[in-house]
Amino acid sequence: MIKKIIHHGLALIIAVFYIQPAEAALNVSVVIEGIEGELKENVRALLSIEYQKNHPDLTENQLWKLHKQAPDEIRVALQPFGYYGPDIKADLVRKESGWNAVYSITPGNPVIIDNVELLITGPGRDHERFKKLAGSFPVRKNAVLNHPDYEKAKRLLHDTAMNFGFLGAKMLKSTVEVHAGQAVSNIIIHFDTGPQYRFGKVTFAQNGLSQEFLDRFMPFRQGEPYLVSKILDFQSALNNSDYFESVEIAPRAGSPEEIEVPIEVNLVPRRRHKYKFGLGYGTDTGLRGTAGWEISRINDTGHRFGITLKVSEIKSGIVGEYTVPLRDPRTDSLAFTAGYSREDTQTSFSEKLFGGIRFNHVRAGWKESLSLDYEEELFTIAGDEGRSTLLIPGIGWTKVWSDNPVQTKRGLRIFLDARGAHESILSDNSFLQIRSQMKYIRRLWAGSRIIMRAEGGVSVVSEFSELPASVRFFAGGDQSVRGYAYNSLGPEDESGDVVGGRHLIAGSIEYEQNVSGDWSAALFYDAGNAIDSISDPIESGAGFGVRWQSPVGPVRVDLAFPLSGSDKDWRIHLVVGPDL
């Protein structure tokens, strides 16, 4: 019994000896006074006491050690911004709530750059880009010494050399001499460009397309100065051609004596046959479906063929297109089209067979299209039936500027074309028509946009009553005057039926504001009409809507009502697709 008592007593003494209460974590606050902005951010980033203050194993002894080394860390943190002689007052005080580490900093006068010795040698010293860089060098005399600007200056020299083909460029000397006592510094940068390299031979690893055809995608020729921007243009052109699943361009620099850079291009062709199917809905078309088949490569010179079938409650049709790439396949092509279309709206009915040829190319940044179309159309407008045969030459220009093709904050789209026919040349009517469209998007402030749209058209016609529905102007619908049905606006006959107009004028202004995440709200006002004379009435509509940035593009739902006419019913408009 006595042995048991002794045994339990010893166990209790040992337990009491070894089990100590857990020491509470130190509660440390770090206060930095006297400086703001990037100076304060850099000091806080380099203070060991700042990022160790919440460590669960931090002891008082360790805290004091961190506090004592803080002034040296502060001095180091201020030097990149030119402050080499700061006055630092450091206090560490224990209070009931924990520890307060306070650092009061007077940075003093910054070091001023007294002299910048920038020496660019080598064949590139007279290159326009190096001259421009030297004239706007990030470090200059009488400026405050700033080490990030100094590093930026060195990077700019290196990047300029690489971008413009001086692939052997090197920094010969780069130093910052600081005389803290006089608060001045000298910067010395000696940079040798080396020779400017040239584009070498380009070899393609692929199957299906000829070397001669692929050479036409190159924005450079062998022997021209090597430019990184042209490599990027080359990559973009091949990717955008839609011939390849993947594109890899690998410049292969040789020995320093060889200034020509061979280019290896590895291409993985996309499948020769491509099929597409789609379903959708729009208030102008109702429920719609699309099916398509495309042959991406008919021969080794890049000819392609595609056929597309579209079916909806209002518009349906089928069209085939054979495309021949021309001298510059990035911008130039010849397209032969043929097809059938049917459109049945509340104002007209049209059934058309057509065929044509179109030359597409780019002129001064504008997409230009010259066309010649032959059309036979059966139409019914306001109960009157007609048949039309027209040979229509035309020319059109389109240009789009955009900061982002999907989520546009600033952009502009302009379209202009002219077309016509003459009854002496395979046509039963004569007309000349000019059309234009413009859409402008601009960001006002965070989360907001203003969207303006304008559309116009002018026709000169010998016999308007014989003009088919597809060539007359109508207004109303999702992309015209909201609040009205598709193509429901225009001049009327004696019975009040819309017959379409010779001219068109329409415009819209819309304000959009982000409300949460991918959701925005919009207010809009539309006005316009198809008219025969300037005295004809202009209809208008207004409303509000919601916008959703979906994974497949913007979705817009609008609730609009007409402001003129006898019909005052609300109308819903639904549009899916990019702004421009």
Q: DSSP string of 115-126? A: EEEEEEESGGGG
**How far is residue 443's CA from residue 541's CA, in Å, rounded to a whole number?**
24
Per-residue confidence (pLDDT) for residue 550, from 0 to 100: 84
The helix or strand, by DSSP H or E, that contains position 11, with its residue range, turns out to be helix 2-18
What are the φ and ψ backbone dihedral angles of 57, each rounded to 5 degrees? -100, 10
Mean per-residue pLDDT for 216-228? 93
Stronger pLDDT, 2 or 355, i.e. the higher one: 355
Answer whether residue 15 shows pLDDT above 60.
no
Report the percent of the chain where pLDDT is more than 90. Answer: 74
Query: Looking at 422-466, which runs of residues are DSSP E strands?
Result: 431-443, 448-461
CA–chain centroid gap for 367, Å, is 19
Cα(282)–Cα(312) distance, integer angstroms: 9
DSSP 378: E
Give the angle subtended at the CA of 339 by the CAs of 337 and 342, to the nearest 5°. 140
Mean pLDDT of all residues in 429-450: 95
pLDDT tens figures, 182-197: 889 999 999 999 999 9
- CA angle, 42 then 44 then 48, to 5°: 115
Higher pLDDT, 78 or 11: 78
Residues 458-481: what's their mean pLDDT?
A: 93
Q: What pLDDT was estimated at residue 364?
A: 87
Look-up: residue for tokens 């009409």?
A: 529
CA distance 433 to 413: 20
Spatial CA neighbour of 357 closest among 369, 342, 341, 340? 369
Q: Is the pLDDT of residue 332 over 80?
A: yes
Phi, psi of 225 (to 5 degrees): -55, 140
Round the average pLDDT of the chain to a whole number and report it: 90
Q: Tell me the mean pLDDT in the region 202-226.
A: 93
Q: How confident is the model at residue 57 (pLDDT cuts 50, 70, 90)?
A: confident
Confidence of residue 452 (pLDDT cuts 50, 70, 90): very high
Would you state the structure tokens that stand for residue 412, as one six-digit string?
């502009």
Query: All domains of the chain, ordered by start, with CATH?
Result: 28-106 (3.10.20.310), 112-192 (3.10.20.310), 198-269 (3.10.20.310), 324-576 (2.40.160.50)
**Nearest-CA neighbor of 576 among 554, 544, 546, 548?**
554
Strands 503-516 and 448-461: antiparallel
175 forms bridges with which residues in the sheet? Answer: 188
Burial class (CB in 10 A: 0-12, 13-18, 19+), 381: buried
Residues 560 and 483: beta-carbon distance below 8 Å: yes
Distance CA 344, CA 16 (A): 95
Q: Which long-range contacts (CB under 8 A, 24 or more apart) does 130-138 make?
A: 130/160, 130/193, 133/157, 133/160
Separation CA 157–CA 171 (nearest Å): 9
Residue 13 has pLDDT above 50, yes or no: no
Spatial distance between the Cα atoms of 34 and 366, rounded to a whole number of angstroms: 56
Q: Tell me the backbone φ, ψ of residue 249, rounded to 5 degrees.
A: -115, 125
**Position 444 pLDDT exceeds 60:** yes
Instruction: For residue range 349-358, list pLDDT tens digits in order.
Output: 999 999 999 9
pLDDT at 58: 87
Q: What is the mean pLDDT of residues 10-18?
A: 34
Taking only the tens place, the pLDDT of each residue in 381-397 is 988 899 999 999 999 99
Considering only CA atoms, which of 436, 417, 439 is closest in space to residue 367? 417
Instruction: Please determine, for residue 95, whether its predicted confidence score (pLDDT) is greater than 70.
Output: yes
pLDDT bucket at 566, cuts 50 / 70 / 90: low
**pTM of the model as a whole:** 0.75
Are β-strands 184-192 and 112-121 bridged in parallel, bridged antiparallel, or unpaired? Answer: parallel
Q: Is 475 left (phi over 0), alpha (psi -120 to 50) or beta?
A: beta
**Average pLDDT of 146-167?**
93
How many whole angstroms separate alpha carbon 412 and alpha carbon 403?
Answer: 10
Specify whether the backbone of 34 is left (phi greater than 0), alpha (psi in -120 to 50) or beta: left
Stretch 542-563: mean pLDDT: 90
* Residue 212: predicted pLDDT: 93
pLDDT at position 349? 93
Could you give the maximum distance between any two Cα atoms of the chain, in Å?
A: 133
pLDDT at 282: 75
Question: Poorest-confidence range of 20-29, 110-119, 454-463?
Answer: 20-29
Query: Above 90 in pLDDT, residue 227?
Result: yes
Give the start-end residues of each E strand in 137-285: 170-179, 184-192, 198-205, 244-251, 260-269, 273-282
When pLDDT is averaged across residues 23-35 and rounded to a whole number, the result is 81
Please tell me the predicted confidence (pLDDT) of residue 256.
61
SS3 195: coil
Q: Which residues contact 236 (CB under 8 A, 6 or more apart)?
A: none
Does 274 or 576 have the greater pLDDT score? 274
Which of 200, 242, 252 is CA-nearest to residue 217?
242
CB 329 within 8 A of CB 360: no
Write the DSSP symbol of residue 494.
T
**9 pLDDT more than 80:** no
Q: According to the model, what pLDDT value does residue 25 have? A: 65
Interior CA angle at 572 toward 568 and 576, to 5°?
150
DSSP label at residue 111: P
What is the per-residue pLDDT across 494-539, written as a single tens digit (0 to 9) for each? 888 999 999 999 999 999 999 998 999 999 999 999 999 999 999 9
Reply yes or no on whether the pLDDT at 404 is more than 80. Answer: yes
